[in-house]
Amino acid sequence: MPLQPGERLGPYEILAPIGAGGMGEVYRAKDTKLDREVAIKVLPDSVAKDADRLARFEREAKVLASLNHPNIAAVYGVEDRAIVMELVEGNNLLISKAARIPEDIVLNYAVQIADALEAAHDKGIVHRDLKPANIKVTPQGTVKVLDFGLAKIADPVNPASNSANSPTLSMRSTEAGVIMGTAAYMAPEQARGQAVDKRADIWAFGVVVWEMLAGRRMFDGETVSDVLAGVLKSEPDLSGVPPRFRRLLSRCLEKDPRKRLRDISVWRDLLDAPVAGAPVPASPVIAWSAAALLFAAAASLAFLHFREAPAPPAPQVRTSIEPPDNTTFNFTGALNSVALPELSPDGRRITYGVRTADGKTQLWIRSLDSVTAHPLPGTANGIHPFWSPDSKFIGFFAEGKLKKIDASGGPPLTLCDAPLGRGGAWNEEGVIVFSPSAESIHQVPTAGGVSTLVVEGEQARWPSFLPDGRHFLFSTNKGIRLGSMGSKESKLLVETVSQAVYVQGQLLYLRDDTLMAQSFDLKKLAVSGEAVPIVENVASVGAVRRGTFSASREGLLAYRSGRSNRILTWFDRNGKRAGTLGEATDAIASPRFSPDGKRVAVELLDPASHKFDTWIYDVARGSRTRFTFDSSTVVASTIWSPDGASLAFPAQRDGKTKLYRKAANMAGAEELLLDDARIVFAYSWSPDGKFFAYGLAGRGLWILPVTGERKQFRFGESVGISGGAQFSPDGHWIAYSGTDSQQRSEVFIAPFPGPGGRVQVSTAGGDQPRWRRDGKELLYISAEGQMMAADIATKGGTLEVGRVRALFGGLPAASTDYDVTPDAQRFLVAMSPEEAGPERLMLVQNWAAGLKK
């Protein structure tokens, strides 16, 4: 948290904030021992909490403290994860064509900057980020160079010297803009991600001197991509430079470091006129520091808004974003609870889901020329966001509805029903196409109303419009298809299970875990040529996969690398992790305990087929046995019979999802239980074995008599069921999660088979109920991701809900990926391993530069 006036760090009393930079927040403070004012730069958590980097920081700070020069802002020491520096009064150097710095003042400033560099280089210290924002001029006209060596401290690892890693920007809020140099002042070797020495400072010195003389940027452009292209390819124009500076600048600005001036101490010898020695009064052309700092920050981050096909060709620039402090990205878990990243079409902003420490989820938004993100009010539990074509609105799904919200703020508006929203797309004609129930594509006006069917079948989802706003791409369990407004017909484009987006003449989609690009002809509406790999090891969610990637029409790519890599994790009733079961894998879903608690049936994703099969774990031994071999793309629970001798499971056969029963020891033939449903979610078996509860997407809770005529029927008031149902241990009740009058998922209990009204258990959102085996307690997950326990009492056909309490938090909200032991003392939850590193969202500017020609 930011420091407040009056707080103390050792002997230093905080007076006021000064600003923020790549290495943390800066404050004016009072040294109470020496009675002087100082500047204190507080380290970001990424450094302060990393023992190795903190130790390296302290070592580097000692070296910096050895610099004692009148043109270098002094480092006094280190205090409680902060660096204490000389407080320099004055203004930052401002480059302005409207108010050029006179030539004699330029020469005087150059003397002082060069003297500062010489003093540092003599001690083996390289600045690495010399620029106007790091040069201050006092009211007396003395130049002070700031932040010597801090760019080196900010760098967590030395960049590799190959083009695949150059240049890398950290977009974390604590290290924003650190590229080991700022784009417009980077030496060419820096721009390529190669190791640098003092010759990089000499290049930057030449650029700063040139800009003071010219009153404008040497390398400029709307994006950092344009700037870096100039650094790498454009020769500096010295024609407008005063003759006395040309020989000096030509030596400082050699692109080949081997030909560049090797030592700043000889710069005076390259001037064609004598150098004035004394400082002159500060010129009125120097603007105040805040404006210069903002200008520099904007320039260092401007790469995130760029144009197609700049000339000369722009290099790729890679960067990463980390989640806001004390949160994680909501990128892993069940498809009904994740909010994957989506770039705005203009490439200026990005929205994504964030999960706080207490398990609450919400959509956040970040402007990519800013170092901070902020939540979007009213988007709690929002999933699968998508943008309007003008980048002003965001569509998303929550509480069984399709909604939209102004990206600049304001309350969300409900557009229509969407019980199991699976993606949407928005065209310029005011129409949204979306998947309301994971099996079809509908359309609705952006003003809202009743949706109408566009495409049905094959688990159609993840629509994305082509530029004409009439045709759209969508995903199915067999491949990527092309649909059209006004027609229910579609055609297959690519046989791969992934969503697809059209950007800059290419279709982007996943093949296995690799992001591919394939040429697409907008006139012929067909792919052509061979697909080219863009990025390997891109994460995805679900079997009918939603890859964790997004692309703006301007050529910016966002993706999450790695896999979900989850593992079945034991928790006690206090939320303490108590070991794991099995190994970490790409995707784990729907663990279900046998009645005696000795075995667990679980859905595991086959990494080869990207489909799910059921496996049975022996809890005591940890071994597992494969139970199904259908490799279904449907994630649906396998449910134990009351005696534990058999299991019921959905399987995709003959184009439909059917329900079967099979002996737990896999002896004998399997039995068909239900064959007329398209998508089946298996929920629970009644204790007497006579009834089976299952769900149909968007159609509520249904009951199948297992004996006799087997004529299924819808159960009670469960039309709005959102997920999860269980018979009570005595078979007289069913607990299920359904929508209330506010269309929010809540947990209810209703008598079985009826009649009678339902009793609401949860009051602030709930899902996935589980009974304790004695029927006196009901467990469920709250909307905030807390494990809840409700006392239940039944007598004479009546049911009362007693005390409801939170046991622990930090779970994926609305997750199907947990179960509780019969005695309700232990919980098994599919979670990310504890040792998993911090999640990062990768950004690639000008990704098309990597296409093989």
Beta strands across the sheet bearing 721-727: 721-727, 733-739, 745-751, 759-760
Q: Which helix (H) or strand (E) holds 515?
A: strand 514-521
Which positions ≥6 away from 348 have C-beta within 8 Å?
A: 304, 305, 367, 368, 369, 391
Which tokens go with 254?
């050699």
Cβ 59 vs Cβ 117: under 8 Å: no
Q: Which residues are 647's β-sheet partners? A: 640, 662
- Rounded to the nearest 10°, the torsion over CA 599, 597, 687, 680 is -50
Pairing of strands 671-674, 342-343: unpaired
Of 579, 565, 616, nearest to 826 by C-alpha is: 579
Helix (H), strand (E), coil (C) string for 278-317: CCCCCCCCCCCHHHHHHHHHHHHHHHHCCCCCCCCCCCCE
Pairing of strands 361-367, 349-356: antiparallel
* Amino acid, res. 688: D
CA dist 57 and 319 (Å) reads 23
Which of left, alpha, beta for 321 (phi over 0: left; psi -120 to 50: alpha)? Answer: beta
DSSP 668-697: S--EEEE-S-SSEEEEEE-TTSSEEEEEET
CA dist 662 and 649 (Å) reads 8
Of 565, 507, 518, 505, nearest to 537 by C-alpha is: 565
Start-to-end CA distance of the chain, whole Å, equals 49
CA dist 522 and 525 (Å) reads 5
Which positions ≥6 away from 239 have C-beta within 8 Å?
A: none
CA dist 466 and 483 (Å) reads 10
* Amino acid, res. 766: G
CA dist 365 and 414 (Å) reads 20
Task: Tally Cβ neighbours within 10 Å of residue 754.
Answer: 11
- Judged by DSSP in three states, 647 sits in strand
CA dist 493 and 488 (Å) reads 16
Which of left, alpha, beta for 297 (phi over 0: left; psi -120 to 50: alpha)? Answer: alpha
CA dist 682 and 662 (Å) reads 14
Where are the alpha helices (H) located in 123-253, listed in sequence order?
A: 150-154, 188-191, 198-214, 224-233, 243-252
Q: Which helix (H) or strand (E) holds 60?
A: helix 51-65
819 catalytic, yes or no? no
Cβ 647 vs Cβ 601: under 8 Å: yes
Angle between helices 243-252 and 198-214 (to 10 degrees): 150
Q: What is the dihedral sign for C-alpha 82, 88, 93, 98?
A: positive
Task: Tally Cβ neighbours within 10 Å of residue 227.
Answer: 27
Cβ 793 vs Cβ 802: under 8 Å: yes
Which positions ≥6 away from 452 have C-beta within 8 Å?
A: 442, 443, 444
From 31, 115, 122, 129, the catalytic residue: 129
Name the residues annotated as catalytic.
129
